Structure 1
Amino acid sequence: MRRIQSLGGWFLAIVLPVLVADQVLKIWIKLSFSIGQQRDLIPGLIELQFIENEGMAFGWALPGMAGKLLLTSFRLVAAVGLGFYLKRLLKDGAHLGLLACISFIWAGAIGNIIDSAVYGALFSRSSWGLIAEFLGEGGGYAPILMGNVVDMFHFTARWPSWWPIDGMRSYEIFPPIWNLADAAISIGVITLLISQRRFFAEPVEKEISESATSSEEGEA
């Protein structure tokens, strides 16, 4: 497998495809569903359910308009920081798995930034029984940087009746509603946590190997 050497290469390989899929799905949901509208994907397991949230992944939020602006600003700073971090990792010859994880996290961060930054200005407000319009006559529902994030995936599977923890029976296994950007962030973070020893060991092993090679050449 040929190693991708540039930031642009990783953007094209992972970030851009995730962004395109995330935004195409969100725009389709926004222009096809009213708030709360549902559609089964796999009955009893997962459905589409359109909601909008003002906060972070899986609907977590900071209160008030100031909290919303702070959160969007934080997302912007984080996305820029992730881009610089990925560039540094490339320069340092980091593990391919680490580069892929950071790329997925970067893609997810940018995907949700797009919603927060511009959806409020581009779409009319979605509500119960009312589907939004793109660039409608009434204008957008919020100023730049104050838009809501579009979420749509909902796991409907419930804990079975034989589950040993009494208080969890019949409740949904994973209630939050999420989107592809959230999934990309989760994939990157979880894989990074599971494989961090392998991902971060490679530069050290490479340095030891190069040092040993240099020593052998010096002795020769």
Structure 2
Amino acid sequence: MRQKLIYLMSISSLVIAVDQLTKLFVHTKFQLHESRVVIENYFNITYVRNFGAAFGILAQTPAVFREIFFLSMPPLACSLILYILWGLKEKQTSQMIALSFIFGGAIGNYIDRVQYRYVVDFIDFHFYNRQTWPAFNIADMAIVCGVAALIYLIMTEKEKKTELT
């Protein structure tokens, strides 16, 4: 269990630190909706406040529901991650790393929810301002990468089991 906790604490702490530092920079150095071009026609840093979940889902629901929902889900998700982590074998390093990214991302966004009641988003990809992707942050990237890695690991594990039968 010691190795699992080392992975969890080191990776999730790094994710949380980078996430919170970048959000602090944007929150203190940018005005709301201010945008600075990084790569012309493709990538900006744009300060957005996300009151919902990914892509602003649930942003229009009543504030009481949103606050209860978004303040209760991350602790539940983190508890589930700890439970899954507990059940992993010591050699399942890739799964530990993926779960640690998800854990760190969940905590990073949870800190925003507790502190501001919204999440600071700022990574803004678009194509000539015609095709845009909703703004996101480092915590979101960590969650998506962790989930994608877990899906890949589950799929390849199933393939290996199928090949053995």
For this structure pair, what is the TM-score category when the shorter chain's length is used for normalisation? 0.7 to 0.9
- Counterpart pick for 1:58 among 55, 66, 69: 55
CA contact (8 A) 1:98 1:199 kept: no
Q: Does residue 185 of the first structure (1) align with residue 155 of the second (2)?
A: no
1:188 and 1:7 map into 2 onto residues whose CA distance is 15
Q: Does residue 49 of the first structure (1) align with residue 7 of the second (2)?
A: no
Deviation at 1:105, TM superposition (A): 1.0
Per the alignment, residue 215 of structure 1 pairs with: none
Per the alignment, residue 128 of structure 1 pairs with: none
Q: Look up the SS of the partner of 2:124 in the other structure.
A: strand
Q: Does residue 104 of the first structure (1) align with residue 62 of the second (2)?
A: no
Deviation at 1:43, TM superposition (A): 1.7
Q: Look up the SS of the partner of 1:9 in the other structure.
A: helix
The two structures have a TM-score, normalised by structure 1, of 0.65
Matched residue pairs, number? 161
Larger Rg: 1
Letter in 2 for 1:98: Q
Deviation at 1:61, TM superposition (A): 2.2
Matches within 5 A, 1:1-220: 5-61=2-58, 63-68=61-66, 69-89=68-88, 92-93=89-90, 95-117=92-114, 119-120=115-116, 147-158=117-128, 171-172=130-131, 174-199=132-157
The two structures have a TM-score, normalised by structure 2, of 0.84
1:27 and 1:87 map into 2 onto residues whose CA distance is 33
CA RMSD of aligned residues (A): 2.5
Q: Look up the SS of the partner of 1:189 in the other structure.
A: helix
1:100 and 1:181 map into 2 onto residues whose CA distance is 15
1:21 and 1:83 map into 2 onto residues whose CA distance is 22
1:199 and 1:17 map into 2 onto residues whose CA distance is 28
Letter in 2 for 1:66: V
Q: Look up the SS of the partner of 1:177 in the other structure.
A: coil
Deviation at 1:199, TM superposition (A): 4.6
CA contact (8 A) 1:47 1:154 kept: yes
Compared CA separation, residues 171 and 194, structure 1 to 2 (3 A): farther
Letter in 1 for 2:65: G
Task: Between 69-78 and 181-190, report the one with greater CA deviation.
Answer: 69-78
2:39 and 2:130 map into 1 onto residues whose CA distance is 18
Compared CA separation, residues 93 and 8, structure 1 to 2 (3 A): closer
CA contact (8 A) 1:6 1:87 kept: no
2:2 and 2:155 map into 1 onto residues whose CA distance is 22
CA contact (8 A) 1:59 1:178 kept: no
Q: Look up the SS of the partner of 1:51 in the other structure.
A: strand
Q: Structure 1 residue runs of 4+, over 4 Å off?
A: 199-202
Per the alignment, residue 129 of structure 1 pairs with: none
Letter in 2 for 1:192: L
